[in-house]
């Protein structure tokens, strides 16, 4: 880190109005730093607008990543205590099961989660109704399901709206519909931001939080961040009569409730069926959409007829090794990045820790594993 504790930045520019940019901007503003948040379009117009946004640390991952996710969930619990009635943030658990084949990991995952102290119950199909409502358990195989009562979901556009309102109340400057912004580097360090409309902003530090575009944008400055971003599809149904409360993760569909009584759906197979045209547009087959609705109906109690309200398609930011990328580029002092999958779960904590690093110049130990330089070393 280049900045000493005595050189608190006076102005920081954040590029990107998704959850990472907005969360970082509000944390900077809370700590009294003059902060400018710049987005190409309106806020929440990227991956954060079409996320399943299941808050979790389920299954197996590195201990450091597990810990960061748990701390991330902790911050959501604090937020939920502040907004107990918010329809956009609920902690009603998550229910997971696998296909009935050789890859079924449920027993293994349950043992692992139990060892970690991650709240988990291993349920047989006939035990599900008593534990969580709204599920058609006839589709759960004999290996059973895992209920994680501590999990939840957030509607990211609502959270972003709440955080942006606080940011502006604190005096933060929001610049939307700015077109593509780029980081200006002067004498080897980040010195500000320029937008395609010609506006320039000087800064002591810049945070690049442009979602899937982070690897491409840092490569313009000779930096390498591994990229494994796929195109993803999120389908939103019309409001539906269901008593479902938990987030469902099933072999053919993931489902979560929405603030307006509808459901959000995604899955790996439907994501793979998206056709990406060379010009940046996408095509979704009607059979993909109807197939996803049918899979969702099958796992819901009473098998309700589901209809599509809307869907969102586009890149889902995922680093090359699947783990988060947070912090300052060692080669370009003052140039910070945020690029990660699971940005719903990590959104609050990432913004908090990045703001802390930008302000104090002290690397935070919770982010030590997630530095951008690990890609340069492996390249």
Instruction: Give me the least distance between CB of 14 and ligand FAD, in Å please.
Output: 10
Q: Coil, strand or helix: which one is 269? A: helix
Q: What distance in Å separates the CA atoms of residue 309 and residue 300, rounded to the nearest whole number?
A: 18
Q: Does 52 bind ligand FAD (CB under 6 A)?
A: yes
Q: Does 210 bind ligand FAD (CB under 6 A)?
A: yes
Within 260-289, the residues that bind ligand FAD by CB under 6 A are 266
Instruction: Give me the least distance between CB of 20 and ligand FAD, in Å please.
Output: 4
Q: What distance in Å separates the CA atoms of residue 208 and residue 217, rounded to the nearest whole number?
A: 9
Nearer to ligand FAD, 3 or 193 (CB): 193
Stretch that binds ligand FAD, among 45-53, 92-100, 129-137, 141-149 (CB under 6 A): 45-53
Please select the residue that binds ligand FAD; options are 9, 172, 211, 257, rule is CB under 6 A. Answer: 211
Burial of 238 (0-12, 13-18, 19+ CB in 10 A): middle
Long-range Cβ contacts of 177-183 (<8 Å, 24+ apart): 177/39, 177/40, 177/41, 177/42, 178/38, 178/39, 178/40, 179/40, 180/40, 181/15, 181/38, 181/40, 182/217, 182/220, 183/15, 183/208, 183/217, 183/221, 183/335
Binding mask 154-193 for ligand FAD (x = CB under 6 A): --x-----------------------xx------------
- Give the number of other CB atoms < 10 A from CB of residue 44: 22
Distances, alpha carbon 185 to alpha carbons 11, 328, 337, 371, in Å: 15, 14, 14, 20
Instruction: Give me the least distance between CB of 179 and ligand FAD, in Å please.
Output: 7
Q: Does 53 bind ligand FAD (CB under 6 A)?
A: yes
Instruction: Give me the least distance between CB of 5 and ligand FAD, in Å please.
Output: 28
Nearer to ligand FAD, 192 or 343 (CB): 343
Binding mask 316-355 for ligand FAD (x = CB under 6 A): xx----------------------xxxxxx----------
Stretch that binds ligand FAD, among 34-42, 74-82, 107-115, 358-366 (CB under 6 A): 34-42
Interacting residues with ligand FAD (CB under 6 A):
15-21, 38-41, 45-48, 50-54, 156, 180-181, 209-211, 213, 232, 234, 266, 316-317, 340-345
């Amino acid at each position: 880190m280049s900045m000493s504790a005595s050189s608190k930045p006076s102005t920081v520019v954040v590029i990107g109005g998704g959850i990472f940019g907005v969360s970082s901007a509000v944390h900077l503003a809370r700590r009294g730093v003059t902060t400018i948040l710049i987005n190409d379009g309106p806020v929440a117009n990227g991956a954060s607008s079409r996320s399943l946004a299941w808050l979790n640390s389920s299954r197996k991952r590195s201990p450091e990543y597990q810990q960061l996710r748990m701390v991330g969930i902790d911050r959501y619990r604090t937020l939920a205590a502040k907004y107990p009635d918010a329809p956009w943030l609920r902690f009603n658990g998550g229910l997971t099961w696998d296909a009935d084949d050789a890859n079924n990991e449920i027993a293994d995952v349950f043992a692992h989660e139990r060892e970690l102290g991650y709240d988990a119950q291993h349920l047989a199909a006939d035990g599900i109704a008593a534990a969580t409502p709204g599920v058609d358990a006839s589709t759960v195989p004999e290996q059973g399901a895992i209920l994680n009562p501590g999990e939840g979901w957030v509607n990211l556009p609502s959270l972003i709206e709440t955080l942006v309102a606080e940011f502006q109340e604190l005096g933060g400057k929001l610049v939307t519909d700015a077109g593509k912004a780029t980081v200006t580097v002067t004498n080897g360090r980040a010195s500000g931001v320029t937008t395609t409309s010609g506006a320039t902003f000087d800064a002591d530090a810049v945070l690049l939080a442009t979602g899937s575009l982070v690897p491409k944008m840092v490569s313009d400055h000779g930096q390498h961040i591994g990229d494994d971003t796929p195109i993803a599809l999120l389908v939103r149904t019309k409001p539906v009569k269901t008593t479902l409360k938990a987030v469902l993760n099933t072999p053919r569909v993931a489902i979560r409730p929405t603030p307006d009584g509808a459901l959000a759906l995604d899955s790996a197979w439907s994501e793979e069926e998206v056709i990406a045209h060379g010009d940046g547009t996408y095509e979704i087959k009607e059979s993909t959409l109807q197939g996803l609705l049918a899979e969702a109906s099958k796992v819901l109690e009473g098998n309700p007829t589901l209809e599509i309200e809307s869907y969102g398609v586009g890149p889902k930011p995922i680093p090359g090794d699947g783990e988060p990328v947070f912090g300052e580029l060692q080669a370009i002092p003052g140039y910070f990045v945020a690029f990660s999958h699971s940005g719903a779960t990590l959104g609050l904590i990432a913004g908090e820790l990045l703001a802390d690093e930008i302000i104090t110049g002290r690397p935070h130990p919770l982010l030590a594993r997630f530095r951008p330089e690990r890609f340069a070393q492996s390249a």
